[in-house]
């Protein structure tokens, strides 16, 4: 009896302290942490632009929530899980951060997911693509907001194989994102009647792709799938041109191609490339209005990763207001029950595994003569229903999914 009394008393104290902690956080307002890449291979596609996208979301909602100010901090994880996780642990433990957003680099994201789960704090992933975030390593406190490797490979590889390009070689980055994107691409190619005749992995932030491209040329594949990101994608495609890949009859398929990548490559080099995008700055009046404000600060429209930071944080702040608290469980429940309402999100909702299921678009890079204005880079070929791009719940490895 005495032991039961002590256990109940301890539980009561714990719950009371948790309640006081939530009240204290509410009293201090909301604090956002943007964990991003300020100087690495994805800096142009995330980085400072992700921070400004977060600021615009805060400003759009008046700079406050629940009558208290919304504060913002940012940090550069340098593509190192130890640096990223250490920064996030400090943010959660001592700096009063309520939610972390962005997190380019899947290896860093998986480390941060573990800390967020441990601390019962929210993290909204705009930039990492590994499906592990909403599969085996899913969390009740994590949301994979913008895209997955599964979605991009389903959209792009399906379209390219159906054009008759059956024989593939995959060039991928040697970390969690690239490995997952390579695996997902191979699965889609085979499911559509194609074959992968070879796969090679390169180190992150590589400068010389010569040996990898020589292997791809020697494979006689019709398609060389470039499964990496940012500066690595740009370098690989530029060096492929120098090696005469296209003149030799082989074609490139970029499995993740961002607006900034196309700009760096130029339309002459990137034209006619198929890609799958969750959003585009020129989609509608709402995206054009946001992009005009973004461009006034950054000199260009947002990438879909930066747009994802804006829309994920906007939804979070609206959920805090609706829930009347910053308590993570209450806010997450509200985020999942509320419709996602922003111009960059098409028919989007948060699934029980933390994945945002959304319609995406199959796009094709314009030729130089088709582009009529700066950053007018994509023809939208068709809309792809979100359910066809999401890992089936019936096959989910996420413990949160009820079967």
Quick: pLDDT tens for 265-295: 999 888 888 899 999 999 999 999 999 999 9
Q: Which residues pair with 356 in a beta bridge?
A: 350
pLDDT at 1 over 80: no
Q: For residues 401 and 352, is the Cβ–Cβ distance under 8 A? A: yes
How many whole angstroms separate alpha carbon 289 and alpha carbon 274? Answer: 26
pLDDT of residue 14: 41
Mean pLDDT of 195-205: 96
CB burial string 185-202: b at 16+ within 10 A, e below: bbebbeebebebeebbbb
Q: Is 62 helix (H, G, I), strand (E, B) or coil?
A: coil
**Residue 26: pLDDT band with limits 50, 70, 90:** low
**Closest of 112, 147, 115 to residue 131, by C-alpha:** 147
For the record, the structure tokens of 224 come out as 């060389």
For the record, the structure tokens of 121 come out as 């704090």
Mean pLDDT of 149-159: 92
pLDDT of residue 7: 46
Q: For residues 61 and 317, is the Cβ–Cβ distance under 8 A? A: yes
Mean pLDDT of 312-322: 98
pLDDT of residue 241: 86
pLDDT at 15 over 50: no
Mean pLDDT, all residues of the chain: 92
Angle (CA) 46 310 313, round 5°: 115
Angle (CA) 118 122 125, round 5°: 110
pLDDT at 22 over 80: no
Q: For residues 359 and 384, is the Cβ–Cβ distance under 8 A? A: yes
Domains and their CATH numbers in the chain: 30-147+283-358 (3.40.50.2300), 150-277+361-388 (3.40.50.2300)
Q: What is the pTM of this model?
A: 0.88
Q: Pinpoint the alpha helices (H) of 300-395.
A: 304-323, 328-337
Find where tokens 């599964």 sit.
150
- Taking the CA atoms of 366, 305, 341 and 54 in sequence, report the sign of the dihedral they define: negative
Q: For residues 115 and 138, is the Cβ–Cβ distance under 8 A? A: no
pLDDT of residue 24: 43
Q: For residues 51 and 32, is the Cβ–Cβ distance under 8 A? A: no
| Number of neighbours of residue 40 by Cβ within 10 angstroms | 21
Helices 81-93, 106-119: axis angle to 10 degrees equals 30
């Amino acid at each position: 009896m005495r032991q039961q009394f002590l256990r109940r008393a301890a539980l009561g104290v714990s719950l009371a302290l948790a309640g006081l902690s939530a009240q204290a956080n509410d009293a201090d307002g909301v604090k956002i942490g943007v964990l991003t890449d300020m100087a690495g291979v994805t800096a142009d596609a995330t980085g400072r632009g992700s921070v400004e996208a977060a600021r615009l979301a805060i400003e759009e909602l008046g700079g406050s929530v629940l009558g208290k100010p919304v504060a913002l901090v940012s940090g550069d994880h340098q593509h190192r899980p130890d640096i990223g996780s250490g920064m996030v642990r400090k943010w959660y433990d001592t700096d009063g951060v309520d939610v972390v957003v962005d997190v380019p680099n899947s290896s860093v994201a998986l480390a941060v997911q573990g800390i967020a789960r441990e601390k019962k704090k929210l993290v909204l992933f705009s930039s990492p693509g590994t499906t592990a975030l909403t599969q085996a390593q899913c969390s009740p406190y994590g949301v994979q907001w913008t895209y997955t490797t599964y979605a991009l490979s389903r959209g792009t590889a399906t379209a390219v194989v159906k054009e008759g390009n059956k024989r593939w070689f995959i060039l991928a980055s040697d970390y969690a994102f690239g490995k997952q994107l390579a695996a997902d691409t191979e699965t889609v190619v085979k499911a559509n009647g194609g074959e992968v005749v070879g796969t090679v992995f390169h180190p992150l932030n590589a400068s010389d792709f010569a040996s990898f491209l020589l292997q791809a040329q020697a494979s006689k594949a019709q398609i060389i799938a470039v499964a990496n990101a940012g500066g690595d994608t740009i370098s690989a495609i530029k060096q492929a041109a120098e090696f005469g890949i296209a003149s030799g009859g082989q074609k490139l398929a970029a499995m993740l191609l961002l607006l900034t990548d196309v700009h760096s490559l130029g339309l002459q080099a990137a034209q006619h490339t198929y890609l799958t995008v969750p959003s585009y700055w020129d989609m509608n009046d709402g995206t054009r209005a946001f992009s005009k404000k973004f461009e006034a600060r950054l000199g260009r429209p947002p990438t879909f990763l930066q747009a994802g930071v804006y829309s994920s944080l906007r939804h979070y702040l609206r959920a805090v207001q609706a829930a009347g608290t910053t308590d993570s469980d209450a806010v997450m429940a509200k985020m999942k029950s509320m419709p996602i309402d922003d111009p960059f999100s098409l028919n989007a909702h948060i699934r029980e595994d933390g994945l945002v299921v959304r319609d995406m678009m199959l796009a094709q890079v314009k030729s130089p003569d088709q582009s009529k204005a700066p950053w007018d880079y994509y023809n939208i070929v068709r809309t792809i229903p979100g359910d066809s791009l999401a890992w089936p719940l019936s096959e989910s490895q996420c413990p949160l999914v009820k079967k």
